[in-house]
Amino acid sequence: MIMDVTEIQEILPHRYPFLLVDRVTQLVKGETIHSYKNVSISEPVFQGHFPDHPIYPGVMILEGMAQAGGILAFKSMDLTPEDAATKVVYFMSIDKAKFRAPVKPGDKLEYKISVIKNKGAIWVLKGEAYVDGKLTSEAELKAMIVDK
């Protein structure tokens, strides 16, 4: 299942400058999602992180993983568009976060998220971020889908 940014915005409440998933390239309900974000020097975060040495912040990478995980959870639950509009994903914890290589403007940041465990509205996910096939970051994410 491929999704463009318009379809992503039907699921996630985030908007510019905080929508951090540009496209979904693969989604297997209840199992995995592959998506990406194109990192551009024109993003506001680079005005301060860091002006003479731009590095995409790790917290933004984690948020991108979380957003991709939210898409996976919503799509896996087979919610109708009407039901989905009444729900939101809250992240409960981020564990085992590791940053292995910097992400810079011009990089295509690929998110690979897989389900570790799902029980009802609770999801435990393994998140990995890659640039050019090289692992840059990883974390374990826990989320819950709740009513707005």
Q: Give me the residues paired with residue 94 across strands.
A: 141
CB atoms < 10 A from the CB of 52, how many?
Answer: 4
Edge-to-edge order in the sheet of strand 32-38: 23-28, 32-38, 108-119, 122-131, 134-147, 87-99
pLDDT in tens, 86-121: 999 999 999 999 999 999 999 999 999 999 999 999
Q: In the block, which residue shows the tokens 């040495």?
A: 53
Give the 3-state secondary structure of residue 59.
helix
Among the four given CATH numbers 3.30.450.20, 3.10.129.10, 3.30.1490.100, 3.40.50.720, the one describing domain 5-147: 3.10.129.10
Q: In the block, which residue shows the tokens 């998506």?
A: 35
Write down how long the chain is: 148
Q: Which of 14, 34, 49, 53 is catalytic?
A: 49
Q: What is the pTM of this model?
A: 0.96
pLDDT band at 85 (very low <50, low <70, confident <90, very high): confident
Q: How confident is the model at residue 81, as a pLDDT?
A: 75
Q: Where are the domains of the chain?
A: 5-147
Q: Pick left, alpha or beta for residue 133 (phi over 0 → left; psi -120 to 50 → alpha; otherwise beta).
A: left
pLDDT band at 80 (very low <50, low <70, confident <90, very high): confident
141 token code pair: 């994410």
pLDDT band at 61 (very low <50, low <70, confident <90, very high): very high
Q: Is 49 a catalytic residue?
A: yes
pLDDT in tens, 124-141: 999 999 999 999 999 999
Query: Residue range 32-51: average pLDDT?
Result: 96
DSSP state of 11: T
Give the 3-state secondary structure of residue 104.
coil
Q: In the block, which residue shows the tokens 């993983």?
A: 65
pLDDT band at 83 (very low <50, low <70, confident <90, very high): confident
Q: How confident is the model at residue 28, as a pLDDT?
A: 98
pLDDT over 80 at 35, yes or no: yes
Q: Residues near 106 by Cβ (< 8 Å), separated by ≥ 6? A: 39, 40, 41
**CB-CB contact of 132 with 89 (8 Å):** no
Q: How confident is the model at residue 79, as a pLDDT?
A: 79
Q: How confident is the model at residue 1, as a pLDDT?
A: 81
